[in-house]
Every structure is written in structure tokens, then in C-alpha cells.
Amino acid sequence: MTDTNTEIKQTIDASNVVLFMKGTKEMPQCGFSSRVAGVLNYMGVEYADVNVLANEAIRQGIKDFSDWPTIPQLYVKGEFVGGCDIITEMTLSGELDTLFEENGVSFDKDAADKIREANG
């Protein structure tokens, strides 16, 4: 395993929820990263954010690690969940709530319901 893969694995293992994104959760640097961070922030999910723009090795390494070509990438309890489109669909269908519940990740259920109401 390369040093980059080791670093990625350690980052994923260190937190229940990790978002590899362009920018930070406070200041996303692309619309897709902003959408996923916005959902997590609104739902009150505690998560680690990794700014791939700050490290080219991580930026390419996470794509190779997950075999997924785009950023952002969300991991829950060490498992790759998906990118922006998948997270958006899971949020609207309630699947993300279920995933968080099954993995003991706390979130604001009312906020999740409000997202669905606003987009229903």
C-alpha cells in the first residue's frame, strides 16, 4: 500500500463520517462539494472534511482508492457511499437517514425531513 493510500485509509478509519471534497466544510470550492457539505452541515452530522485541493496526491489518490472518478466522496464507517448525485438521491429518498441510523451516526431527523419537504 502506498503512503497516500495509507494516509487515506487512516483518515477514513479515524472518523465515522469523512467527506473528501474541494475546499472545506466552512468554505467549499465547487458546487458539488458545496451541496454535499451543505446537506451534512444542515443535518448536523459531525464529519471530517479533507480538502483535496490542498494535496494533489490525495486528490488523485482518493479517486484510485475508491475507484470513483469524481470529488466529493463520502465515507461512512469506513465504507465508500458515493458522490454528489448519490448523496443527493439518498438524502431525498431517506436512505441516508437509514445509513446514518444503522451506523450510529447522529443527525437531525427534522432537518433531513425539511430537506425532503423542500425538494418534494
Task: Looking at the chain, list the stretches that DSSP marks H as alpha helix, in order from N- to C-terminal side.
Answer: 3-14, 31-42, 56-66, 84-93, 95-102, 109-119
Please write the tens of the pLDDT for every residue from 13-61: 999 999 999 999 999 999 999 999 999 999 999 999 999 999 999 999 9
CATH code for the domain in which residue 28 is found: 3.40.30.10
- Annotated binding-site residues read 30
- Annotated binding-site residues for [2Fe-2S] cluster read 30
Decide: 62 and 22 in contact? Cβ < 8 Å.
no
Provide the domain count of the chain. 1
Question: Per-residue pLDDT for 1 more than 80?
Answer: no
User: What is the overall mean pLDDT for the chain?
Assistant: 97
Decide: 92 and 4 in contact? Cβ < 8 Å.
no
Q: Which residue range(s) make up the domain with 45? A: 3-119
Question: Per-residue pLDDT for 2 more than 80?
Answer: no
Name residue 20's beta-bridge partners. Answer: 50, 73
Of the chain, the percentage scoring pLDDT greater than 90 comes to 98
Nearest to 91 by CA among 107, 68, 77: 107
